[in-house]
Amino acid sequence: MTSSVGEIGASKKKKNRELLLPILMLLPSIAAIAIFIYGFIAKTGYTSFTDWNTLVQTDNFIGFDNYRFLFSDFRFQSDLRNTLVFTILFIAATMMIGLFLALMIDRKVRGESFFRNVFIFPMAVSFIVTGVIWQWLLNPTTGFNLILRNIGFDSVPKWYTSTEIYLGLPIGQIKFGIPIAIIAVAIATVWQMSGFAMAMYLAGLRAVPDDLREAARVDGAKESQIFFKVILPQLTPITMSLIIILAHISLKIFDLVYAMTGPGAMFVTDVPGVYMFETTFRGNHYAQGAGIAMVMLAFISLLIIPYLFSSLRKGDK
């Protein structure tokens, strides 16, 4: 009896040690995340409510004054418009091109691996390099415009140097519409990310069972009906994941815009990331820069948190 009790006690101690070891292994990572991510977010959030807008740090609490200034500022209003337009153009074009490329490759074309590598290659290039390349390609005096002039076109697009706002309606201090210049930025970003969308959709297409397609054909469904009623519903999880990933990229984009156009004339290509960088590290307005960062975090959270809750609920089921 005594020996069995001792064995039970030893077994419990062994289990406790086995549980304790993983916890101890994770503690450094948990501490680093708590300090360098959530701790810094909390510090940035607090700074956004202070008057620290000089080189000398001050912690005087001023409430929402920095946020009131931002949302009444012409440049920040332009940034919000540009981000909205850019996000819609970027996500829509990237997903449509990616799906089209995936459908073409899914036909088992010759040289499939070659085409896959060609389409996904731009992802290996940094956004800085992409910005520099497309700055030259879309420059009013070089790149595509030089080719257009050489073949006889006198009137060529201004691309990212244009200050025109298409369908502009006055809202606040800005014209709310589609800045022509932001389309050029969207073209460069779509070029880089459409290969990623292609890879995601191709994986989804290859996961659709052939039995479903054959069953639909046996029932007399046309190829277009098979695509819209059988294949597309199967790609819904891929589509949702792509929307989240691409929207996250568009909301926090900085390097491509900074390398390609900067804020642009009349801030037609400016985005919150560029404004935050210049406000914080060039203007030394740390509290206002922190406010921009918190607005960006709020937008990204509004997008990602509902998706995470939805995923967790599906996982529980």
- What are the tens digits of pLDDT across the range 70-119? 999 999 999 999 999 999 999 999 999 999 999 888 887 777 788 888 88
Please report how the helices 180-207 and 236-251 are oriented relative to each other, as an axis angle in degrees rounded to 10: 150
In-domain check, residue 133: yes
- Give the position of tokens 């510090």: 43
**CB-CB contact of 166 with 177 (8 Å):** yes
Q: Taking the model in full, what pTM does it have?
A: 0.86
pLDDT(6) > 60: no
pLDDT single digits (tens) 257-305: 999 998 888 899 999 999 999 999 888 999 999 999 999 999 888 888 8
**CB-CB contact of 186 with 90 (8 Å):** yes
In-domain check, residue 9: no
What CATH number does residue 125 fall under?
Answer: 1.10.3720.10
Distance CA 279, CA 76 (A): 11
Mean pLDDT, range 192-212, rounded to an integer: 89
pLDDT single digits (tens) 112-153: 788 888 888 888 888 999 999 999 998 888 888 888 888 877
In-domain check, residue 276: yes
In-domain check, residue 268: yes
Cα dist from 18 to 6, 12, 22, whole Å? 18, 10, 7
pLDDT reported for residue 14: 63
In-domain check, residue 46: no
In-domain check, residue 24: no
In-domain check, residue 52: no
In-domain check, residue 147: yes
User: If we measure between CA atoms, which residue out of 143, 294, 73, 116 comes closest to residue 206?
Assistant: 116
Distance CA 134, CA 143 (A): 9
pLDDT reported for residue 268: 92
Number of structural domains found in the chain: 1
Residue ranges making up the domain that contains 262: 75-316
